[in-house]
Amino acid sequence: MNPTPARTRFAPSPTGFIHLGNIRSALYPWAFARHHGGQFVLRIEDTDTERSTQAAVDVILQSMQWMGLDYDEGPIYQMQRMPRYRDVLRQLVDAGHAYPCYMSTAELDALRERQMAAGLKPRYDGTWRPEPGKTLPPVPEGVQPVLRFRTPAHGSVSWQDRVKGQVSFDNAELDDLVIARPDGTPTYNFCVVVDDIDMRISHVIRGDDHVNNTPRQIHIFRALGSEPPVYAHLPTVLNEQGEKLSKRNGAKSVLQYRDEGYLPDAMVNYLARLGWSHGDAEVFSREQFVQWFDLDHLGRSAAQFDGEKLKWINAQYLRALPLPQLAQQLRPFLERLGLREHGVDLQAAAGLLRERAGTLLEIAELCEMFYGEAQPQEQDLQPLLTPTVREALGELVGRLQALAQWDAASISAALKQLLGEHKLKMPQLAMPLRHMVTGRAHTPSVDAVLALFPRATVLERIRAHLRA
């Protein structure tokens, strides 16, 4: 047996923000590695020292940890690999695949202007590219050269993308890429290739904003004597307005979903479906996803984020959580809202409220009916207290007190009996009861709600408002 070698990586640049589209580029390679029993590597592409920050690295690490995307190697920081990149640069120069170019920025600008004026696409013109029989210009004094990669002048470069199919670029369209700056620091496309080789990456699964880099990277692979990995370029994720997801147009960070009370398993499930499918399966576990994940069912067109659907999936997961776990997960949210768990059993409350909430935060907000001040708006309550209703509620106090069992069924029976006797409809009693006991107009079924409170609390609150 020759198992598919599967070494994948997530290679974010730590520049401040990580949204759902970004983390999806971690989820798919993670799932691919796990599916094949391979390895998943985390590489931090921090060579843009102006924009990279430790805080952004922390956000990446926290987001991955929260989503449960564990990695087998890393985090590997590109900044710590500089000596290795310099070695490989030297190798490329020695083998004739790279050459120093002394063209100054001013000369390059002038060249670009001439080309544009002539209606041409701006590109490096090969002034410093050595060719047999060609005499290079004299090396100017005191100028530190860049290193350029010697791209084949003719032919084309292509690959079989697992999402896009066959992709080809004419080499004539790719000019000689700068792979090292005047100070000797390597540039982005070069580092990616050295890393993908050294880390023995078999499958590169990344956003399709990198498609234009891929032909350049393939040339560098070959110059270094390696075959490129398999590529799968994922189509963009669009926001609900159909624009590319980005911080600028309001995309939320992954950690914000955590703070709003989404469950990581629900996020994984939702993102799994945002660009990949398994028949029409919508709700499936992380294990199921890993078992099913493949590159053959990646979507070819841009996926559109749908917040309602995400919330719907989250609600499914909230409803499936064992109550002790649900209560435990809710506690930090209650604390944030300043609600103190008392009197009412949190597991029971959460079990009742999760039916009408999409996130942990929404359940916690609803918990206010059990742990809040319960101060009804008198202007809402008083008009409901007609003489008949007052009388019925007065009797209710005695009946509730006398109940042999304090549970929803017994409370419901007591209420129904009173309705018949006083010729009232359920809302005529239920509404004022909600206001009196919970301070709110909207709650789940009133018998179920009352049953969760200590009986004494219910009686005391009804009495207090009848007196008022």
Answer whether 232's CB lies under 8 Å from 162's CB.
Answer: yes
Cα–Cα distance, 389 to 387 (Å, whole number): 5
> Which residue lies nearer to ligand GLU by CB, 11 or 353?
11
Shortest distance in whole angstroms from residue 43 CB to ligand GLU: 8
> Which residue lies nearer to ligand GLU by CB, 11 or 303?
11
Shortest distance in whole angstroms from residue 199 CB to ligand GLU: 12
Q: Is 215 in the site for ligand GLU (CB under 6 A)?
A: no
Q: Is 210 in the site for ligand GLU (CB under 6 A)?
A: yes
Q: Is 203 in the site for ligand GLU (CB under 6 A)?
A: no
Cα–Cα distance, 98 to 100 (Å, whole number): 7
Q: How many residues bind ligand GLU (CB under 6 A)?
A: 7
Q: Is 19 in the site for ligand GLU (CB under 6 A)?
A: no
Shortest distance in whole angstroms from residue 208 CB to ligand GLU: 11
Q: Which stretch binds ligand GLU (CB under 6 A): 9-17, 235-243, 276-284, 373-381?
A: 9-17
> Which residue lies nearer to ligand GLU by CB, 28 or 276?
28
Give yes or no: 247 in active site: yes
Shortest distance in whole angstroms from residue 28 CB to ligand GLU: 11
Q: Is 75 in the site for ligand GLU (CB under 6 A)?
A: no
Q: Is 244 in the site for ligand GLU (CB under 6 A)?
A: no
Q: How many residues does the chain have?
A: 468
Shortest distance in whole angstroms from residue 204 CB to ligand GLU: 6
Which position among 134, 247, 252, 423 bears the catalytic label? 247
Per-residue x/- track, 40-69, ligand GLU (CB under 6 A): -----x------------------------
> Which residue lies nearer to ligand GLU by CB, 51 or 319?
51
Cα–Cα distance, 406 to 400 (Å, whole number): 8
**H-helix or E-strand spanning residue 257:** helix 254-259
User: In three state form, how does the secondary structure of 383-407 look?
Assistant: HHCCHHHHHHHHHHHHHHHHCCCCC
Cα torsion for 100, 103, 108, 111, to the nearest 10°?
-110
Q: Which stretch binds ligand GLU (CB under 6 A): 5-13, 49-57, 295-303, 329-337?
A: 5-13
Cα–Cα distance, 19 to 4 (Å, whole number): 30
Q: Is 12 in the site for ligand GLU (CB under 6 A)?
A: yes
Alpha helices (runs of H) in 95-162, residue ranges in sequence order? 105-117
> Which residue lies nearer to ligand GLU by CB, 26 or 451?
26
Shortest distance in whole angstroms from residue 11 CB to ligand GLU: 4
Sequence-distant (≥ 6) Cβ neighbours of residue 353 within 8 angstroms = 363, 366, 367, 444
Give me the numbers of helices (H) and strands (E) for the chain, helices first please: 20, 12
Q: Which stretch binds ligand GLU (CB under 6 A): 7-15, 82-90, 229-237, 387-395?
A: 7-15
**Cα–Cα distance list, 157 to 151, 154, 193, 430 (Å):** 10, 10, 16, 73
Q: Is 351 in the site for ligand GLU (CB under 6 A)?
A: no
Give the number of other CB atoms < 10 A from CB of residue 19.
21
Shortest distance in whole angstroms from residue 291 CB to ligand GLU: 25
Instruction: Show the CA angle centred on residue 185, arms to residues 183 and 188, nearest 5°.
Output: 140
Give the number of other CB atoms < 10 A from CB of residue 200.
12
> Which residues are near ligand GLU by CB under 6 A?
11-13, 45, 192, 206, 210
Which of the residues are catalytic?
Answer: 247
